[in-house]
Structure 1
Amino acid sequence: MDSIKQIVAQTGLVDLKYLNTPEGEMYLQIAVASVAVGVALALYLATASTSQPKKVLETPELTLSTTEPHAMLPTITDWHPMKLVDKTALSHNTNLYKFDIPRPTGHVKGIHPEPVLGLPIGQHISVSAEIDGKNIVRSYTPTTLDGEDPGRFHLLVKAYEKGNISRYLSLLTVGQEVKVKGPKGKFVYHRDLADHFLMIAGGTGITPMYQIIKASLADDKDTTQLRLIYANVNEDDIPFVSSAQGVGRSTGSLERSVASLCKHTLSLVMYQDHALIPGWAFFAQYVLNNAPAGWTGGQGFITRDMIESHMPSGGVGARGKVLMCGPPPMMNAMKGHLDALGYPKPNTISKLDDQVFLF
């Protein structure tokens, strides 16, 4: 300590006599401690600045279950390449695309279940492609439920002349890939969400409705009443069976429950062209702008009266929701009808607890 006193005294800042007093020694001890802390901090910062950055943790090895299928979307990476394995024309401008879900590392066919997307009912995926040097992304709802077509998912997409991703998909050939990401969306369906769903869809806006309908009808504990009004321009635009129809809920049988929904995979079960039969779990009314001769469904545009006829018996105050998806002009017209019937205006971005939800 005496040598430190001599060094400090030589600076001329503090007199040596003062440093030899008890107060001076205390001052010196505090000063030395402060310098030590400063040096330690400087050494730490210097070491940190020259050290190598921490490595990002390696992707952990997957532990695959032999009973539960691996869900691809919520895990490991953002974008997943999905290979097109089948493409079927359903109308002059609408195709059904079937994509393989890649098997994760360690998957053994026959031992591990085929992978699934892991997409909650009512949510959608993003599809990305590079078009004219730009990365374009669009959202689509698969028409399949997880595990319905093991190891695959289906997309129903209408191609537009000026569309980006829709036209890109229409030009795809079997074996080519697209990039997929998800889940995305604010709507997640479960059996206790509402007692009644009034669904209004136009064109390929049917896809989120179709997914919800299938999930509900496949669940024998689901008592939700489903009512669909589905609009198209021409009969050829409908990738589903025409006219109005209804079905009951068939316990434990997805195939029988949804057998009236889609003509490219399933056959028609029942027609109901007039009054709604009480107790039917699902009822659909088809509407065409250009109705052909003999058409028994709705004609022209969806009207306020059509919507009112499919509302729950308790009206707006009942425990029901309105779900809508379709072209913007159509959706704007539907908002006007719903407002006239007393429904609340939908939010700019719909939330799950909204009574009127716009996909």
Structure 2
Amino acid sequence: MALKAVLASFALAAPSYYAAQRGILPHIPFDKLSSLALVVNHASGTPGSPFFRGFTIATVLSSIAFAVVGKELAKFTHVEEGFGRYPPYRQARPRVAPANPHLSKGFLDAKDYKPLKVSKITKLSPNVFRYTFALPAPRDVIGLPIGQHVAIKATIDGKIVTRSYTPTSNNIDIGVLELVIKIYPDGALTGKYFASLRVGDEVLFRGPKGAMKYTAGYCKHIGMIAGGTGITPMFSLIRAICEDPRDTTSISLVYANRTEDDILLRSELETFARRYPQNFEVWFMLDNPPAGWQGGSGFVTRNVMKERLPAAGPDTKIMLCGPPGMIGAAKKGLVELGFKEPGAVGKMGDDIFCF
């Protein structure tokens, strides 16, 4: 009985998760342990010593108890099959966010003009063309951050003329640079230069240029007001946001033109609005709408901006690009709606950013 008490005390002293092992006590054959102790003591030359008989029994019981406890402990340290095939020093690699392809350097040089050859000219409407330029190597990229633009230089009538344009292509479009250009007969660079370009001709480019350098997380809501060819910088942002599944920014665009034929990139804009309704919505406005026109008409007034653009707030930005008269009126209306008026030099952090 004293032996059972000792074993019970041993089990109680063990950690709580081994307490279940106290259930083994009723199954230990104590009568046989006494006989075993006599055999062991006889072999050791001390058959009549109670001390050595008790010591032997305690040793045997300790061995049994530790064997059972060890077996249970192994269950806690057991690792699912498969992991043990790897060395213990092998650690899982931390997940690293993929690099932003729009920030990669490429063909463009911010200081020097570099030539590119026209590889294709596509007529989009009677006076709108898409010019595709081949980069030096098929795997090259433009190297133009989203929201920035390029400068083009040409000699016209003996004078050097430069103009800024925003490509409709980006770093995802390897091997090419694309511009959508509206030809104005009296335009210094469009009517007298782009109108006469042919496949194989070289055009000089420099960049990137501009204060805007968009990355995901810039803000939650973007309102855009564009007029005529002012849609091209907006389009670069719209495309980048819609094509990035990680970018949850919402965009509301008001795009104004004189006639329906003047709407640039209309099919592309409507496609983005249809495919990515959670990111983008567009409202077309015309000065001279045709019969049955479903969009807006007239000027982009304060009421139009209030209805179609996100409200002023810390997570809202407004972007403008178009004719000077439209931009001036839009700024005034936006300030009345609670947006802070921008300074003379545009900054990315402005409530109202002008391209």
Same fold by TM-score, threshold 0.5 exceeded?
Answer: yes
C-alpha spacing 1:78/1:282, structure 2 compared with 1 (3 Å): same
* Structure 1 residues without counterparts, runs of 5 or longer: 1-67, 104-112, 242-259, 272-276
Quote the residue 2:241 is aligned against.
216
Provide the rounded CA distance (Å) in 2 between the counterparts of 1:219 and 1:295: 32
Q: Deviations over 1:265-308 (max 9, x none)?
A: xx68749xxxxx9x721000000101001110001111211111
**Secondary structure of the corresponding residue to residue 200 of structure 2:** coil
Q: How many residues align?
A: 252
Q: Report 1:31-110 matches (<5 A).
A: 71-74=106-109, 78-103=112-137
Quote the residue 1:3 is aligned against.
none
The one-letter amino acid of 1:219's match is D
Q: Deviations over 1:243-272 (max 9, x none)?
A: xxxxxxxxxxxxxxxxx6258xxx68749x
2:182 is aligned with 1:158: yes
**Secondary structure of the corresponding residue to residue 154 of structure 2:** strand
* Structure 2 residues without counterparts, runs of 5 or longer: 1-102
Quote the residue 1:172 is aligned against.
197
Provide the rounded CA distance (Å) in 2 between the counterparts of 1:303 and 1:120: 32
Provide the rounded CA distance (Å) in 2 between the counterparts of 1:143 and 1:89: 15
Shift of 1:90: 1.9
Q: Is the 8 A contact 2:153 2:163 kept in 1?
A: yes
2:352 is aligned with 1:356: yes
Q: Runs (4+) of structure 1 moved beyond 6 Å?
A: none
**Secondary structure of the corresponding residue to residue 154 of structure 1:** strand
C-alpha spacing 1:216/1:305, structure 2 compared with 1 (3 Å): same
Residue from 319, 323, 326 that aligns with 2:322: 326
C-alpha spacing 1:333/1:69, structure 2 compared with 1 (3 Å): closer
Residue from 293, 296, 318 that aligns with 1:295: 293
**Secondary structure of the corresponding residue to residue 210 of structure 1:** helix
TM-score (norm 1): 0.66
Q: Report 1:254-265 matches (<5 A).
A: 261-262=268-269
Provide the rounded CA distance (Å) in 2 between the counterparts of 1:164 and 1:342: 38
C-alpha spacing 1:347/1:268, structure 2 compared with 1 (3 Å): closer
2:340 is aligned with 1:344: yes
Residue from 178, 185, 190 that aligns with 2:210: 185
Quote the residue 2:67 is aligned against.
none
Q: Is the 8 A contact 1:69 1:114 kept in 2?
A: no
Quote the residue 2:219 is aligned against.
194
Q: Is the 8 A contact 1:92 1:237 kept in 2?
A: no
Quote the residue 1:14 is aligned against.
none
Q: Is the 8 A contact 2:227 2:322 kept in 1?
A: yes
TM-score (norm 2): 0.67
Provide the rounded CA distance (Å) in 2 between the counterparts of 1:73 and 1:231: 31
**Secondary structure of the corresponding residue to residue 165 of structure 1:** coil
Shift of 1:340: 1.9
The percent identity for this pair of structures is 42
Shift of 1:70: 6.7
Shift of 1:89: 2.0
- Pairwise CA RMSD: 2.3
Provide the rounded CA distance (Å) in 1 between the counterparts of 2:317 and 2:325: 21
Provide the rounded CA distance (Å) in 1 between the counterparts of 2:304 and 2:125: 26
Quote the residue 2:97 is aligned against.
none
Q: Is the 8 A contact 2:105 2:144 kept in 1?
A: no
Tell me which protein shows more helix as a share of its residues: 2
C-alpha spacing 1:299/1:114, structure 2 compared with 1 (3 Å): same
Shift of 1:160: 1.9
**Secondary structure of the corresponding residue to residue 126 of structure 2:** coil
Q: Is the 8 A contact 1:202 1:326 kept in 2?
A: yes
